[in-house]
Amino acid sequence: MANGGTGILTSSTAAMAPEVARRTWPRWIALGVAMLAVAVAAVLWDAAGARLLLGASGAFLVVRGALLLRGARTAPAELAGRARGLGAVATATGAGALVVALVSEAAAATVLLVAVPVLLLGAAAALVGRGGAVRRGGQALLVWAVLVTGLLVAAGLGQSWERAADAATVITALAVAVLAVPVLVGASGLRAVAARPAPAPERTISAACAGCACGAGGCGA
C-alpha cells in the first residue's frame, strides 16, 4: 500500500510546475510531521487519545472540505458539481467528528471502534475494483481489514467493548502514522521539483522579420 500511495504522489508531483511545488512542499512536510505527532501523542495519552485522533481528523476534513468548496467556484462546470458535493460531505463529516471529540473520550473511542472497520473495508473494496498494483494493494488491505475487524469483535465479546475501543484507537494511530509516510515522500518529490531551474523563455520573432532571410536570428532582432 505504501508503494502504491507513493507512486500516485510521485507521478502527480513530477508534473507540477516548480513555482507551485515551492509553495506546496512545506505544507506537505508540515502535514506529515503533524500526522506523526498526533499518532504518537494519541498512543501515549491514554486519557484523550481517541479525542485527539478524532478531533485532528475532523479538523483536516473541515479544512479540506472548505478548500474543495472554494475551488468549485472556479472549476470547470463538469468538475464543479462533484467538488461541491465532496466538499459539503467532508465539511459536514469533519464538523460532526469535532463535536463528538469535544463531547467525551468514550464517545470518540466508540466512533473510532465503528469507523475503523467500516473505513478499512470500504477502502479495500474501492481499491480491489481497480487494476494493476492498486488492485493487489487493495487485496492486501482487505485481508488486513478482515483481521482487524475480527480482532476488535473478539476483544469486544471476549473482554469488553471498552477494551475493543482502546484497540481501535491504537489501530487508528498506526494508520495515521502509516499514511504520513507517503505524504512525506510526496513532499520530498515536490522539493526536488521546486529545485528545478525555471525553463528559459522561448524566443519569439516579430512579424516584420518573419519572412526575412535573417529571421532565424542572424540580425539579432
pLDDT at 220 over 90: no
Mean local confidence (pLDDT), 148-162: 88
| Top-confidence residue, 193 or 122 | 122
- In tens, the pLDDT along 22-74 reads 788 888 899 999 999 999 999 998 888 899 999 999 999 999 999 888 888 88
Cite the beta strand spans of 34-187 per DSSP E: none
Cβ pair 25, 191 in contact under 8 A:
yes
User: What pLDDT does 202 receive?
Assistant: 57
Report pLDDT digits (tens) over 169-181: 999 999 899 988 9
Which residues touch 98 (CB under 8 Å, ≥6 apart)? 54, 55, 58, 59, 62
Q: Which of 45-49, 96-100, 129-133 has the lowest mean pLDDT?
A: 129-133
pLDDT of residue 6: 36
Phi-psi region of 217 (alpha: psi -120 to 50; beta: other; left: phi over 0): left
pLDDT > 70? residue 117: yes
Q: What is the mean pLDDT of the chain?
A: 80
Q: Is 184 helix (H, G, I), strand (E, B) or coil?
A: helix
- For every residue of 1-31, DSSP letters joined together read -HHHHHHHHHHHHHTS-HHHHHHHHHHHHHH
Q: Under a CB-based contact definition with an 8 Å cutoff, are residues 179 and 28 in contact?
A: no
pTM: 0.73
**Which pLDDT score, from 0 to 100, does residue 221 have?**
47
Packing angle of the helix pair 132-158, 161-194 (nearest 10 deg): 150
91 or 15, which is more confident? 91
What pLDDT does residue 74 have?
A: 81
Q: Given this model, what pLDDT does residue 10 score?
A: 41
pLDDT confidence of residue 12? 56
